[in-house]
Chains A and B, each alone.
Chain A
């Protein structure tokens, strides 16, 4: 029954109410919710891989009048990704938030954010997407402000205002689309849209809104403070999932809904911005003083890589080569999600045990927290894009596509970005392995160190050696929700 399509959204929503009603049991409720959500997402992915895309017309009204939920390979993959990351970060949070009050505040919001993410991944309606974006933004801001440190609150407030502006740009696009084409259903729009001023301007508005939310250079300025000052588990999910959500929409609009509207020039523009993001973000990460800030800037850079794919996809003719590039793009996004969340969680462990996250004072960390430093190294390998991480395969295809399409401009960009990444990752490790006297951290316990380690292993080993299935699953029908029953 397709109603089960609502589970990945409704489970976290329902449990967030329970966590609100029974604050003292918030933690078990939350963990249970995340487990159930993971199961639901896994089931959904399995269904989609078996029987192809799924559709649910909510309220029994035909899409257009009512709202439809779509699940295809792309959305279900991201659903699975976010469920895994959220579970890991959630388990970690039980070690991070010790006070019952903190937990009672944390869990309902955390689950609401999951609701928003999954609603966004599954939504098939333009205005509904606006609502999910707002839900995501508000819950993310509320989480980022937890703890109430002045810096965190200030960053959260700026984050909120910019997020709202992004949503408004998006909504303006929605307005024009409805005015011009008289429907909000994505799949209907896909058939109606034509390359004409209305569609162009509407798309431009929506894309710019999403770019603001996904923090593409030069709209990235809000990200580092917001991600670097939030509580560790929140930072992890902000960097790994929240920006990805906006990117997911961008991808779907670009390659599927507005396929006939987008121009090669626009794709190049995105590519250029992506390239600048790669260089600038990596450079700032290298100069960063604090580990969390480094991680945040590295996110800016890593998102840049994703945008390098756009001009390549525009140049590649439909066929195997293009599918491969598309698969690489998704693989890149997944690897970054796991690696970056691992990095943030590991950073959180260090910050709590050492009392700071200044990179230059990390001496002795390798002896005090071997597992966590090992996690840092693994995540670093994935961020640099070295084998056997999934990012290596993705970058391979990125290079390959750039060479095949003769877009040589990107080759030095990717190369430089990778070397800069190597520089900042090994800068951390260099300090972490340096011997230091009198470093006596408390030994972290499993629920704090293991989630990050598992995420890092997913990013490096699983996606490195087992990504063929992903490729086969995602590439052919990646953006073909149109063929839904």
Chain B
């Protein structure tokens, strides 16, 4: 096992938890969207840390690919969320 993995893995867990919490407690929608992104980044970090296998060893490519997919999904979701929020601020009916 490699210390680096643990450092970033645990950091990832913390980021995940921090983000989750503020996504639930914050009132501002924008802050919530931020929080979700950070929470996601935490999970990605943990995932990539799994792949790391030392300086000379080439890392496991699978988690990298998964995270790449995850990043695109995350940005799509963020974009949709922000567009909804904008529509919400503009909406004037009732």
Is A–B contact present in the complex under a CB 8 A cutoff? yes
Hey, which bits of chain A sit against chain B, CB under 8 A? 127, 130-131, 134, 137-138, 141-142, 145, 148-151, 153-154, 156-157, 160-161, 164-165, 168-169, 171-172, 175, 178-179, 184
Query: Provided the pairs A138-B76, A164-B77, A165-B39 are in contact, do residues A156 and B84 lie with their beta carbons within 8 angstroms?
Result: yes
Are A175 and B73 in contact, with the CB atoms below 8 A? no
Query: Provided the pairs A149-B93, A168-B16 are in contact, do residues A142 and B39 lie with their beta carbons within 8 angstroms?
Result: no
The answer for the CA separation of A131 and B50 in the assembled complex, in Å, is: 20
Per the 8 Å Cβ criterion, residues 17-58 of B in contact with A are 19-20, 23-24, 29, 32-33, 36, 39-40, 43, 46-47, 50
Are A153 and B36 in contact, with the CB atoms below 8 A? no
Q: How far is the CB of A63 from chain B (nearest CB, A)?
A: 13
Are A161 and B81 in contact, with the CB atoms below 8 A? yes
| Top 8 A-B pairs, shortest CB-CB distance | A150-B91, A157-B84, A179-B50, A175-B47, A134-B73, A164-B36, A153-B88, A171-B43
Are A175 and B29 in contact, with the CB atoms below 8 A? no
Are A138 and B50 in contact, with the CB atoms below 8 A? no
Query: Provided the pairs A127-B66, A165-B23 are in contact, do residues A154 and B43 lie with their beta carbons within 8 angstroms?
Result: no
User: In this complex, what residue of A is CB-closest to B86?
Assistant: A153
Are B87 and A168 in contact, with the CB atoms below 8 A? no
Per the 8 Å Cβ criterion, residues 70-94 of B in contact with A are 70, 73, 76-77, 80-81, 84-85, 87-88, 91-94
The answer for the CA separation of A485 and B33 in the assembled complex, in Å, is: 44
The answer for the CA separation of A169 and B16 in the assembled complex, in Å, is: 9
Are B84 and A145 in contact, with the CB atoms below 8 A? yes
A-B contact pairs, 12 of them (CB 8 A): A137-B77, A148-B91, A149-B91, A149-B93, A150-B94, A157-B29, A157-B81, A165-B23, A168-B16, A175-B50, A178-B47, A178-B62
Q: How far is the CB of B26 from chain A (nearest CB, A)?
A: 10
Are A178 and B50 in contact, with the CB atoms below 8 A? yes
Q: Which residues of B contact A142 (CB under 8 A)?
A: 80
In addition to A148-B87, A150-B93, A153-B87, 12 A-B residue pairs with Cβ atoms within 8 Å of each other are A127-B69, A145-B84, A150-B91, A157-B84, A157-B88, A160-B77, A160-B81, A161-B29, A172-B16, A175-B43, A175-B46, A184-B62
Choice from A150, A161, A178 contacting B23 with Cβ under 8 Å: A161
Summarize A's interface: helix, strand, loop or mixed.
helix
> What sequence of 0s and 1s flags, for each residue 4-25 of chain B, a beta carbon within 8 Å of any chain A beta carbon?
0000010000001001100110
Are B50 and A154 in contact, with the CB atoms below 8 A? no
Q: How far is the CB of B46 from chain A (nearest CB, A)?
A: 5
Answer whether residue B59 sits at the interface, using C-beta atoms and an 8 A cutoff. no
Query: Provided the pairs A127-B66, A145-B84, A157-B85 are in contact, do residues A165 and B24 lie with their beta carbons within 8 angstroms?
Result: yes
Hey, which bits of chain B sit against chain A, CB under 8 A? 9, 16, 19-20, 23-24, 29, 32-33, 36, 39-40, 43, 46-47, 50, 62-63, 66, 69-70, 73, 76-77, 80-81, 84-85, 87-88, 91-94
Q: How far is the CB of B91 from chain A (nearest CB, A)?
A: 4
Are B87 and A161 in contact, with the CB atoms below 8 A? no
The answer for the CA separation of A153 and B93 in the assembled complex, in Å, is: 11
The answer for the CA separation of A21 and B72 in the assembled complex, in Å, is: 23
Query: Provided the pairs A150-B93, A153-B91 are in contact, do residues A172 and B81 lie with their beta carbons within 8 angstroms?
Result: no
Are B91 and A168 in contact, with the CB atoms below 8 A? no
The answer for the CA separation of A138 and B81 in the assembled complex, in Å, is: 9
Q: Which residues of A contact B62 (CB under 8 A)?
A: 178, 184
Choice from A138, A148, A151, A172 contacting B80 with Cβ under 8 Å: A138
Q: Which residues of B contact A157 (CB under 8 A)?
A: 29, 81, 84-85, 88
Q: How far is the CB of B35 from chain A (nearest CB, A)?
A: 9
Are B94 and A168 in contact, with the CB atoms below 8 A? no
Q: Which residues of A contact B20 (CB under 8 A)?
A: 165, 168-169
Are A161 and B36 in contact, with the CB atoms below 8 A? yes
Q: How far is the CB of A169 from chain B (nearest CB, A)?
A: 8
Q: Which residues of B contact A154 (CB under 8 A)?
A: 88
Q: Which residues of B contact A165 (CB under 8 A)?
A: 20, 23-24, 36, 39
Query: Provided the pairs A150-B94, A165-B23, A165-B36 are in contact, do residues A160 and B80 lie with their beta carbons within 8 angstroms?
Result: yes
The answer for the CA separation of A148 and B87 in the assembled complex, in Å, is: 8
The answer for the CA separation of A69 and B16 in the assembled complex, in Å, is: 30
Q: How far is the CB of A351 from chain B (nearest CB, A)?
A: 16
Are B93 and A171 in contact, with the CB atoms below 8 A? no
Are B66 and A153 in contact, with the CB atoms below 8 A? no
Query: Provided the pairs A164-B36, A168-B16, A168-B39 are in contact, do residues A138 and B87 lie with their beta carbons within 8 angstroms?
Result: no
User: In this complex, what residue of A is CB-closest to B16?
Assistant: A172
Q: Which residues of A contact B63 (CB under 8 A)?
A: 178
Q: Which residues of A contact B29 (CB under 8 A)?
A: 157, 161
Choice from B32, B73, B92 contacting A161 with Cβ under 8 Å: B32
Q: How far is the CB of B82 from chain A (nearest CB, A)?
A: 10
Q: Which residues of A contact B81 (CB under 8 A)?
A: 157, 160-161, 164
In the complex, which of the residues B20, B33, B43, B70 has the most CB atoms of chain A within 10 Å of its own CB atom? B43
Q: Which residues of B contact A156 (CB under 8 A)?
A: 84
Q: How far is the CB of B57 from chain A (nearest CB, A)?
A: 16
